[in-house]
């Protein structure tokens, strides 16, 4: 008899910043993948007083994979700052595993899983 495992969380009540993030969370839940939304902020830079002046908060953490996922629907030309933050975070935290899902990746997910077109078009929900 298959053993029961606790289900992953639902998406209700979570203030996702973007419709694509909500759809991605639904997708993970559908396939039984445990996830957390923005659970960790990584400081990237500090001022002379030691106050954090730059930080990076990946969108998702998948605890079973020990993997952070950053998801964006921005055009490639607007991605420089995002790439820089991820590189900096990985330099400061060498064990950090981050997967960046670009607009192209989101469009591929939308095509494969039948997301509504607005999911990848809307700038903000």
Partner 1 sequence: MSLYDDLEAILLDADAIQAEVRRLGERISKDFADRHPHLIGVLKGSSVFLSDLIRTLTVPVTVDYIWISPYETPTPSGVVRIRKDLDDPIEGRDVIVVEGIIDTGLTLSYLLRNFRTRNPASLKVCAFVNKRAQRIIDLSVDYVGREIPDKFVVGYGLDYRQRYRNLPVLGVLKPSALD
- Give me the residues that bind partner 1 (CB under 8 A), please: 2-3, 5, 7, 10, 26-33, 62, 65, 67, 69, 99, 101, 104-105, 108-109, 111-114
Q: Minimum CB separation from partner 1 for residue 47, in Å? A: 36
- Per residue in 3-34, is it b (16+ CB within 10 Å) or e — as a string? eeeeebeebeeeebebbbbbbbbebbbeeeeb
Kind plus residue range of the DSSP H or E element containing 107: helix 103-113
Nearer to partner 1, 29 or 90 (CB): 29
Tell me the closest approach of the beta carbon of residue 86 to partner 1, in angstroms: 16
Distance CA 120, CA 32 (A): 23
Query: Please, which residue, 30 or 46, has the CB nearer to partner 1?
Result: 30
Check if the beta carbon of residue 110 is closer than 8 Å to that of residue 101. Answer: no
10 or 39: whose CB is closer to partner 1?
Answer: 10
The minimum distance between CB 80 and partner 1, in angstroms, equals: 21
**Which residue from 14, 18, 12, 2 is spatially nearest to 72, judged by alpha carbons?**
18
Q: How far is the CB of 32 from partner 1 (least distance, A)?
A: 5
């Amino acid at each position: 008899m298959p053993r029961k495992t606790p289900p992953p969380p639902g998406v209700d009540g979570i203030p996702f910043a973007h419709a694509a993030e909500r759809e991605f969370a639904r997708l993970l839940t559908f396939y039984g993948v445990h996830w957390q939304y923005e659970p960790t902020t990584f400081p990237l830079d500090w001022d002379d007083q030691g106050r954090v002046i730059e930080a990076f908060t990946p969108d998702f953490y998948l605890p079973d994979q020990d993997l952070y996922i950053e998801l964006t629907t921005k055009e490639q030309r607007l991605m420089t700052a995002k790439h820089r933050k991820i590189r900096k975070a990985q330099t400061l935290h060498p064990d950090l595993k981050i997967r960046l899902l670009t607009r192209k990746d989101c469009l591929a997910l939308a095509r494969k899983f039948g997301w509504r077109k607005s999911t990848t078009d809307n700038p903000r929900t």
